[in-house]
Structure 1
Amino acid sequence: MPIVTIQQFPRDLAQKRELAQRITQAFVEVYGASEESVQVFFNEVDGESWAKAGTMGCDRSPARG
């Protein structure tokens, strides 16, 4: 049973639906897995729970990513 965990910033539900479908199809095509066996977990992290180069995400400018 393939299990995929994705860590990301919050995204729109429609985007997550599409990504989950594409990931599922990749496992079906490449591994021959059944769609029902593929699980995708989204772990969304906001800027107050993430830092890069010692700076909290909520304090970073968009240009610095």
Structure 2
Amino acid sequence: MPIVTIQQFPRELAQKRELARRITEAFVEIYGVPEQSVQVFYQEVDGENWAKAGVMGCDRSGGQGGS
């Protein structure tokens, strides 16, 4: 049973639906598993729960961007 965990900044629901669909298709095509066995978990992190180079995401210019 493939389990995929994605850590990301918040995204639109439509984008997450499309990504889950494509990930599932890839596992079905490449691994030959049934689509019902593929699970995708999203862990969304906001700027108050992330830092880069010692600076909190909410304190960076552009908010929570990944630059």
Per-residue CA shift, 1:5-58, capped at 9, x if unaligned? 000000000000000000000000000011000000000000000000000001
Aligned to 1:17: 17
Q: Give the aligned length.
A: 65
Give the unaligned 5+ runs of structure 1: none
Aligned to 2:45: 45
Counterparts of 1:50 and 1:33 in 2: how far apart (Å)?
35
In percent, how many aligned pairs have the same letter? 77
Runs of 4+ in 1 over 3 A off after TM superposition: none
Q: TM-score scaled to structure 2, two decimals? A: 0.92
Q: TM-score scaled to structure 1, two decimals? A: 0.95
User: 2:35 corresponds to which letter in structure 1?
Assistant: E
